Chain A
Amino acid sequence: MMKRHGLSAFDNNSQQFTELGQSLIRRKSKELSTQLQLFKQILMNFLDEHNDELTEDLQLRNEFVKTCSLVGIDPLKIYGKHTKMNEFYYELCCRIIEYCNSTRDINGGMIKVSQLLAQLKESGVVKEDIHRCVSMMQMLNEELQIVTIGHHEYLKNVHIGLTKDQTMVFDIVNQIGSITSRMLCDNLQWDYIKCEQLLQSMVSDGYLWVDVYKGKVHYWDPSWSV
């Protein structure tokens, strides 16, 4: 190819410069992310080795947690259950309350424990942890309870208690997703009007969602939406 002179000679060069620049940036960011990974690893090792000191020395622990959160380590991981720190549970309590509050308008304050666990899956939280947190928090908030309906556990975060009838509706709706007034009265041999009123009251409490489909009204359990 003929060597180009004048201004046109710059055309090709600028392309090469861009490529070079980009490859430098790529290499740099790869190096940094490796270093960060390593640093995280070292922090976690430090946590294992100095567990006792961290448990006793509050100041040290605070500094440590601060450093960890700077590099993006989830506090729930730091307060792993193998340490003696209660903070794991404090932190978990906050997460539970946060999640309950943010979904309250969707489910009326009744949340499936399994849904909560799915939400916290990454932190390795198990059902017993949630039970423990709930019993810790009951001192502050008596409304918070775990209720078992059918085969499912729910975390209840509303002050109104469920009636026996409502509990039965919950049990049925949970298994099949949705229900109509007719189905309810066929299944439980209740009066049609009673079924209708019961379902509608559960809608106004925010426990159920309405689905009008081909002229029929179906009542749905919001936990099927996630």
Chain B
Amino acid sequence: MSFTFPKIYNFPPFFTKQPNEQTWSAQRQQWVQLILSYCRFHRIWIMNDRGVVLSQGDVESESLEDSQQDVDSTSEVFHNEAIDRQLDIDTIRLLFKEMLRSGDVSPVDGKSKSNSTQYYVNWNRPDDWAAMVLEWIESTGQAGTVLTLYEIANGDLSLKQEFHGIHPRILEMAIKVLVKRGRAQILRDEDGRIGGVKVQ
């Protein structure tokens, strides 16, 4: 099964930023919707602000992040070969800035929020991931036990969960939501990395 693009994807002006402010705001909404549903379909975790996919599919460990293929090829979502149109980089940047503002993406480099060039795409918001993980932990009777992030994301028990194979850093964001709500405790290892989580 392949992703079904909306009809507007085949409308050539969709790939030119509209000069009319009102039209652009409608166009922008369509783009954000398209990016999110495309990333959801292909389970894309990270994109950079030139529209290149950096992390996708089930992530087993963070080291995979380095094995980027086709570093310079913009995702097909921004490049419609059939009608030979491509959204220019400036507009893609603008879209990501807008999505950052609305919480549809989060900066990969958490500290430098404004000049980040890589983004986690939140086709599920951290809040939503948190709710899923929490529900799964409760329904499988694992509340109160210490789980590693790997067990949550890649263990056999979570095979059928939407968050199975989730990017570890996105899972971290979700866990931090739970910590904030007082539902989880983080246990760190000697290097200060998250070793395990206890949810109750």
Contact = CB atoms under 8 A, between A and B. Distances in A.
Interface of A: 105-106, 108, 178, 203-206, 209-213, 218, 220, 222, 224-226
B12 A213 contact: yes
B26 A209 contact: no
Q: Secondary structure of the B side of the interface?
A: helix
Nearest to B25: A105
Contact of B12 (A105, A203, A211): A211
A204 B7 contact: no
Complex A-B, nearest 7 residue pairs according to Cβ-Cβ distance, in ascending order: A105-B26, A209-B13, A225-B11, A211-B13, A211-B12, A220-B13, A225-B8
B12 A220 contact: yes
A10 to B, nearest CB: 15
B15 A211 contact: yes
Contacts of A204: 19-20
B13 A206 contact: no
Interface of B: 7-8, 11-16, 18-20, 22-23, 25-27, 84-85
A45 B20 CA distance: 51
Given A105-B22, A106-B23, A203-B20, A218 B7 contact: no
A222 B25 CA distance: 15
Contacts of B26: 105-106
A212 B16 contact: yes
Contacts of A213: 12, 16, 84-85
A125 to B, nearest CB: 21
A210 B11 contact: no
A203 B11 contact: no
23 contacts: A106-B27, A203-B19, A203-B20, A204-B20, A205-B20, A209-B11, A209-B13, A209-B18, A210-B13, A211-B12, A211-B15, A211-B16, A211-B85, A212-B16, A213-B85, A218-B12, A218-B13, A220-B12, A220-B13, A225-B7, A225-B8, A225-B13, A225-B14
Contacts of B13: 209-211, 218, 220, 225
A224 to B, nearest CB: 6
Contact of A220 (B11, B20, B25): B11
Contact of A206 (B8, B15, B22): B22
Contacts of B25: 105
A224 B27 CA distance: 14
